[in-house]
Structures are given as structure tokens and as C-alpha cells.
Structure 1
Amino acid sequence: MEAPSPQGRHPGWPAKLGPLQVKAGLVAVRGPRLFDASAWSRIRLRDRDHLERWEPTAPGTWEDRNGTLAWPGQWSSLRALARRGMTLPFVITVDDQLAGQVTVGNVIRGSLCSAWVGYWVASHVIGGGVAPAAVALVVDHCFMLAGLHRIEATVRPENTASLRVLEKLGFRQEGLFKRYLDVAGDWRDHFCYAITTEDVPDGLVSRLLANGRATIPQ
């Protein structure tokens, strides 16, 4: 596994993490690039039924928000926020092909040292261990090189696949946020999950390895 090297003004960014071998292939995460546009758009448009029901309501059509021309603006915004230390954005690759995103947002330093993590993966790799591996790589990075103490994740109770990812990794459920976020045109309840450095002194990747859910390629 390649050791990430913090560069620039904010700890932990940029970085390239992984790979881990899982059922679906070699999983790695890296910063988004401008030329990811075509692959990103192709997956997002194809997987609308799989993704739209779980994502925050936004103006415009799905095609407008996820077409190839939408990516440069998103990429530029993510890069600007990363340079200001407010987010750590990553794309997920499987066998070097883009297969999703993991974003660490609302990074707060000082006495809180916390952030939230959100993720999505392409439909063709669901069930292949991709999401747990990618989230584990990113959370370990946040705790080790990025200097964070707590990572939260909010998930709708109906999103059983995403709940399984967090539970496999050892996130604890801390409560229910009523009418928390506007998703698919209505205010939806979300479970709040969280994990802190004290919960995983050896890291989440080590937990996946110990449980046989991933291996480190030789």
C-alpha cells in the first residue's frame, strides 16, 4: 500500500491511498481529476435509479447535474475547498477504473477535530467490498495524517446497503436526526453514525484485513 504524503498547506491533502484487494478487484482512492469527467458522468447517468433516491435534492435535472459538462465545475469546487482545508475529496477506483466517490466534508479543526464522510459506488461493484475498503482507507487517513478525531456519517434508515457498510467498519449509531435533509424532494430522517480514533487504535483497514474482507496485494 502506497504511503500517503501530506503536501501543501493542509494536513492529509493531497493523497493517494491503497490499494486493497477485495472481491470486486483492487480498490484505491485518489484526488479527483479534470479528465475524470467522462467516466464519472457515464456511471452517474447509468445509475440514476440507484443513486438519486439517496442524494440531497438539488436544482436542475439529473442529466444537467451529472452530464460531462457538470464535472469541471464540481471538480473545481472540490479542489478549492480542499485547498482551503474544508474538505478531502476522493474518487474510488477499482482496477484503475473510476467506480465512485468518497468525500470528507465540513472539516473542523481546533478542539473538535471532526468531519463527516459520504460515499457512493457504481452499481456494478455493489457487494464486492468496494465501499467498505474505500471508506476504511479514507477514515484511517483522516485519523492518521489529516489529524482528525471524529468522523460522522448520516444515512437514511431505508438505505440498508449503506448502513451495512458503516456497521461492518464499526461505526456506532448515535441517534436519529428527524427531518434532517431534503432528499428526493422531501425532508428525510437520518441515522447518525460516528467513530473516533479511540474506537480503532489499529485502524479500520486492519479490521478489514483481520476479518478477511480485504487483503494487501503483494
Structure 2
Amino acid sequence: MGYKGSAVYDNEEFNRNYIARRNRKESPNNIMEYPALMRFIGDVKGSEILDLGCGEGLFGLDLLEAGCKGYEAVDGSDKMVEAARENISNESASIHHAPLENWNFPTNRYDLITSRLVFHYIEDLSGIFERVYQALRADGRFIFSVQHPVLTASKHEALEGKRTSWNVDHYFDLDGRVEKWIDKEVVKYHRTIEEYFRLLTEAGFQIKNLSECPPERENFKTEEEFERRKRIPLFLLFSCEK
């Protein structure tokens, strides 16, 4: 069936290849998703922040350097938690090792809860969103990104190598998909934009903004890659308030 949740990140070969791929300066995560996310987040000085699915912790370093008062993070992968603890030595930070579905969220603690490209690995999001809502202080914010639904929709295995076309199929079938990614089979859970909206509002959130992270020419080295990234959205961001 494929790896579920964070399990694939504990595969040594996958983890090594993922880190090398993820940390490329020209990675779409770095030049498309990250700038849009940071525009939504804005000033974090004095904020208590929870990061769900922190990976190796480099985003946490950015938030601490930007002046957040406290940074707390959760990740289900042994290897990612180990890397995050090595990367973040700040006394204002703490990293928890637990699947998000099983972590005991505190109540009314955080000013901002964020998550980057994690929730499409989780089958039951309604419970997560409800616990996120309870963990935020009054007027707290919930800002997160997921893989765009046009990418998770098709039930056919993704083509290997650089893709030149994309199929959008089975869009309204809300269930798991097996995708071959970095030579491993992983399970991702497809949701429409409408479904994310429904889950968030039922948890009590007000949705203030969303973004599909359109490419910006100044972030690309070549016109060819810029034009390619204009063809289809890769990311979906939500900015919500309690």
C-alpha cells in the first residue's frame, strides 16, 4: 500500500535524497511556497508558535531568528526529530516526537500554529483541526500549506522525471492515493479546496485568505523554468483565525 504518515522519512535512503532535494535553493518549496507563507505569517516578534510536522527544523530557525518568543514543534519521524534537535539549540525551542494524530495538544497556548506540506499525509484532519483550534489563544492564527488538490487528485501513479503534462482526474473522490515519490511509494490523502474549507469552518475557524503560490519571475534563474511553473499550481495555503 505504501508508506503512511511520516514513516517514509525514517527510511535512510529516502531521507538522504529528500534532504538533498528539499534544500536546493531552486526548490519550489523555497521559491514559491515559502515566500507566500511568510507574507501570510508576517511579524512574529513576541509570538508563541507551534509548528506541526517540523521536519529538520530549518523553518523553526527562521522563526526564532525573526524574534518569536517561543517555538514548539512536533514531528512523527525519528530522523527528522533528531535532525531538528541538532539544528535548533535555542533555549526557547522544544521539539516533540509524536504522530500529530496522537499528540496531546495543550489548550489556549499559542499565538500562531503553522504547518508546511504535512496535512495531505493525514487521513483524519477534522480531529487535528479541532485540536488546533483549542490550542490557539483568542484571536490566534492558523496558517498552513498543503500540496495543491490538482496534484493529489489523479489515482494514476505519477510519471517519473520532469513532467511536461498533468492529468486531473477523480477530483471529487476523497480518499487515499499511492504516489511514487523519490523512488518510494507513499500514501497521500486527496481533498478538494471545498473540503479543506468545510473542515476548517466546522472546527470554528474564520478563513481570512488563501494563496496558490503563483511563481514570481525574479525567483527563477531561467525563463523556461518560470514558464513551466506557471502551468499548474503546486501549493495551496490557508490563513485562518480563531
Larger strand fraction of residues: 1
Normalised to the residue count of structure 2, the TM-score between the two structures is: 0.30
Normalised to the residue count of structure 1, the TM-score between the two structures is: 0.33
